[in-house]
């Protein structure tokens, strides 16, 4: 609660700190969401292919591809700076 209750602060240093904090907390939640999605999307596609072709290997491949892609996406978006 650094800023006063009256009006928002326009201190540039404060704003810069806030914007970094904002980006970081947003990134943390987005990364979790992306990991879950990676497993669900490509794991799900793999599962459907497994049902179709009758081999469980496609589910495993899908899960691995999904996790790897999500990790790559997280690294690309948030991990390089």
Partner 1 sequence: MSSLLAAASHVAALGRALDTTSEGGKKVFESPTKNDFNFPGIFGGQDGWFTKPVLIVVLMTVVCFAFYYASSRNAKIVPGRLQFAGESLYGFIRNDVAIDAIGHDGLRWAPYLATLFSFVALNNIAGIIPVLQIPATSHIAFPLVLAVFSWLIYMYLGISKHGAWGYFRDMMFPPGIPWAVYILLAPIEFFSTVIVRPLTLMLRLTFNMFAGHLVLVLFISAADYLLLDYSNTAVGAPVGVLSLLLSLVLTGFEAFVQLLQAYVFTLLTALYIGGALADEH
Q: Sign of dihedral through CA atoms 68, 70, 74, 77?
A: positive
With binding defined as CB under 8 A, does residue 30 bind partner 1? yes
**Residue 24: exposed, middle, or buried by beta-carbon count in 10 A (0-12, 13-18, 19+)?**
exposed
> Which residue from 11, 16, 21, 51 is in contact with partner 1, where contact means CB under 8 A?
21
CA 76 – CA 64 distance, rounded (Å): 18
User: Using CB under 8 A, which residues numbered 46 to 65 contact partner 1?
Assistant: 65
> Which residue from 11, 33, 57, 79 is in contact with partner 1, where contact means CB under 8 A?
33
> Which residue from 8, 16, 53, 55 is in contact with partner 1, where contact means CB under 8 A?
8
């Amino acid at each position: 609660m650094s800023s006063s209750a009256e009006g928002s602060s326009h201190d540039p240093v404060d704003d810069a700190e806030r914007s970094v904090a904002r980006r970081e907390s947003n990134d943390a939640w987005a990364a979790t969401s992306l990991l879950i999605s990676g497993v669900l999307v490509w794991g799900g596609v793999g599962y459907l292919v497994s049902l179709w072709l009758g081999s469980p290997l496609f589910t495993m491949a899908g899960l691995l591809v999904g996790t790897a892609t999500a990790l790559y996406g997280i690294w690309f978006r948030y991990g390089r700076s």
